Homo-oligomer: A and B are copies of this chain.
Amino acid sequence: MLVALLPGDGIGPEIIAATMRVLEAAGVSGLTFEQAPVGGAAYKAKGHPLPPETLDLAKRADAILFGAVGDPNCDALDRHLRPEQAILGLRKELELFANLRPAKLFPELADASALRPEVATAIDLVIVRETNGDVYFGEKGHRKTADGLREGYDVMSYNEAEVARIARVGFETARARRGKLCSVDKANVLETSQLWRDVVIEVSADYPDIELSHMYVDNAAMQLVRNPGQFDVIVTGNLFGDILSDQASMCAGSIGMLPSATLNSANKGLFEPIHGSAPDIAGQDKANPLATVLSAAMMLRYSLGKPDDADRIEAAVAKALANGARSADLGGAMGTVAMGDAVIAAL
C-alpha cells in the first residue's frame, strides 16, 4: 500500500521523520512511502502550495500522512497561493469530507490541562467535522455596496446530501462508542443550520439506537468548558467544527498530543496532527512528535486495515508517557528525536 508523505512547513519535516522511525521500529509490513512538497515549501520549490505532482501523488496513494503547513513569509501572497490552500485543496479535490478529531486526555498528562483535573480527565469525545462545504467553499469576494463602500462577503450553505453523509459518519461513530450524538448548529439564526438540523433528524430514523441531541454553537462552546464529559460524539459543520475542535483539544491538554483523520467515503484519508507548523521552534528539535505518531496510528486503523499495529503504537505512546517522556509542551525537556526514541523503546 502506498502512503503519500507530505511533511510541509516549519516543524513538519521533523515530526514526520520521528514518526517514520516509529513506523519502521514497529515493523509495519507492506507499506511503501513516496514524498512530495506541500504548503509554503511547495510554493518556494514549485510556485504553488499544492503542485500538480503532489496532488497526483495524494490521489494515487492509499493514505496521506501530513505534517503541517503555514509560513509567515507567505502571509502577503494572494489567497490562492498561501500554504493553507494546500490543506483546503486536498480536502476538496479528494472529497475528504469527514474530519474526525478525538479529544481525550492521557491520564499521565492531567496536569497539562488548564481545566481542573477532575473536569479534564472526564473528556472522552470525538468531534466529527464536515470539511467539504459551508462558508469555506461558497462564493466569496469583495464588492461595493450601493453607497460605494468596500464590502467582503462569503456565502454559507449546505445541501441535504452534504448534511446526510456527514450525519451518517456521526451516527456510525457514536454507534462504535457510547451511543450519543450531539449535533451542533445555530438554527435559531441561520437557515443553513435549520436545513442541517432538519436533515440530521431525518437521518436519525435509521439510527434508533443512538441518542440524538441538538445544541446551539454558543452553548456548545460553553459546555465544552463547563462539563466536557457530557459529550460522546459531536457532529457539526466546517466553520463551527474548526472552532470547537480546537477548543476541545485544548481542554484535553497539550495540542502537541492530538491527532486527526479526514476521510472520504471509501475511508481513504489524510492524517495530521491538529497543531500547526510552529515556525518559531522549527528545526530546533523541540517539537513534540506524538500527535503525528498518533495520526499515523489512526491511518493504520482507518485507511490501511492494520488495527493491531495501530493499537501497538498507541500503547507504546501511553507507555512512553508513563515512563516519564515529556517534551517542552508537556513541561519537560525532551526533544523531537528523544520523544521518538522513547516510543520506540516502549514498543
Residues of chain A having any CB pair with chain B under 8 Å: 79, 82, 84, 88, 114-116, 119, 135-136, 138, 140-142, 145, 149-161, 186, 188-196, 199, 217-219, 221-222, 224-227, 239-240, 242-247, 249-251, 255
CA distance A194 to B246 in the complex (A): 21
CA distance A19 to B55 in the complex (A): 62
A70 to chain B, nearest CB (A): 9
The 8 closest A-B pairs by CB, nearest first: A152-B195, A153-B157, A221-B247, A151-B159, A218-B246, A152-B192, A152-B191, A222-B250
Name A190's contact: one of B140, B149, B243, B246 (CB within 8 Å): B140
Question: What is the count of identical protomers in the complex?
Answer: 2
Give the residue name and chain of the B residue nearest to A85 (CB). B188
In the complex, given contacts A140-B192, A152-B157, A155-B155, what are 8 additional A-B residue pairs having Cβ atoms less than 8 angstroms apart?
A151-B158, A151-B160, A152-B158, A152-B191, A153-B155, A153-B191, A186-B242, A243-B243
Which residues of chain B are near A152, meaning CB under 8 Å?
Answer: 157-158, 190-196
CA distance A221 to B188 in the complex (A): 22
> Does the CB pair A145–B159 fall under 8 Å?
yes
> Does the CB pair A243–B218 fall under 8 Å?
yes
> Does the CB pair A154–B151 fall under 8 Å?
no
A167 to chain B, nearest CB (A): 14
CA distance A150 to B88 in the complex (A): 25
CA distance A157 to B151 in the complex (A): 7
> Does the CB pair B188–A84 fall under 8 Å?
yes
Give the residue name and chain of the B residue nearest to A275 (CB). B222
Name A188's contact: one of B82, B145, B156, B217 (CB within 8 Å): B82
CA distance A119 to B112 in the complex (A): 12
CA distance A221 to B190 in the complex (A): 21
Which residues of chain B are near A245, meaning CB under 8 Å?
Answer: 218
> Does the CB pair B151–A255 fall under 8 Å?
no
> Does the CB pair B218–A242 fall under 8 Å?
yes
A175 to chain B, nearest CB (A): 26
* Most chain B beta carbons < 10 A, residue from A82, A149, A161, A222: A222
Given contacts A152-B157, A190-B135, contact A221 B195 (CB under 8 A): no
What would 12 A/B residue contacts be, using CB atoms closer than 8 Å?
Answer: A84-B188, A115-B225, A140-B191, A142-B195, A149-B159, A149-B160, A150-B160, A152-B195, A153-B192, A221-B250, A225-B247, A243-B243
CA distance A84 to B190 in the complex (A): 12
CA distance A154 to B194 in the complex (A): 11
> Does the CB pair B225–A114 fall under 8 Å?
yes
Given contacts A115-B114, A225-B247, contact A156 B156 (CB under 8 A): yes
* Most chain B beta carbons < 10 A, residue from A138, A199, A224, A247: A247
A182 to chain B, nearest CB (A): 16
> Does the CB pair A226–B243 fall under 8 Å?
no
Name A255's contact: one of B154, B192, B222 (CB within 8 Å): B222
Which residues of chain B are near A140, meaning CB under 8 Å?
Answer: 190-192
Which residues of chain B are near A193, meaning CB under 8 Å?
Answer: 152
Which residues of chain B are near A151, meaning CB under 8 Å?
Answer: 157-160, 195
Which residues of chain B are near A188, meaning CB under 8 Å?
Answer: 82, 84
